[in-house]
Amino acid sequence: MNHYVRRAAAVLLAATLIGAAACSAGEEAHPVVFAAASLTNPFADLAENAEVNVDYSFGGSNGLVDQLVGGAPADVFASANTATMDRAVEEGVTAGEPVRFATNLLVLVTPAGNPAGITGLDESLDGAKLVICAPEVPCGAATAALAETVGITLEPVSEESAVTDVLGKVTSGEADAGLVYATDAAGAGEDVETLEIPESSQHVNEYWIVAVKGGDADSASSFIELVTAAAGQELLADFGFGPA
């Protein structure tokens, strides 16, 4: 089964599963999904051309938990790391047990052509405009742990609240380098040069998904099944995510 057929299968499954939830409820299902920014492309792809409506709110995982704690309505929450999901559980905004559904690794990216001549997490970053995620969001926590393992002190010119913002500053040329997920680098294609960091394998980000307390339980269950079923897992792999 090729890439496009897998995507079509995932979209059809979305329509079937969420549509079934709608029928059981006697009305149109319209799940509201709060998800980590690094899930923007694959999750948006799930709903593309489907006969269902999914409202997505993408952002830094920790900020999304803040919104849920503040009473923002949602049916599903998907986090880019374990610590943030643990916080959501502790804050009492989840319903049921979280499910791990994907993994991801950090890489270093530069603008196309690597004009600053960056070679990795090394002395080539001295004086360079480096952008990273803020420590309170998953990509930032992973960045801090990775830097400690490598034995380097990072001196970023800015810390962003979402990994997509880091990538944006690199692709626009505002930054010489940035630490992002491998999936974001893959999605940027020829707009970036990607430098793998061997030590990243010691700091794998685990992605978790859960129903939100007070949300539509049927819609949440169907969406979570979509993500964790074979078609959803194949689509995530197409975007560069590792297996759960």
Which residue positions form the known binding site for molybdate?
A: 38, 61, 163, 181
CA atoms within 13 A on the CB side of 195: 19
Running DSSP on this structure, what letter comes out for residue 75?
A: S
Binding-site annotation, residues = 38, 61, 163, 181
Show the tokens assigned to 237: 């792999």
Could you give the CA distance from residue 80 to residue 26 in angstroms, rounded to a whole number? 33
Handedness of CA 227, 77, 83, 130 (dihedral sign): positive
Handedness of CA 135, 202, 235, 110 (dihedral sign): positive
Show the tokens assigned to 65: 């938990």
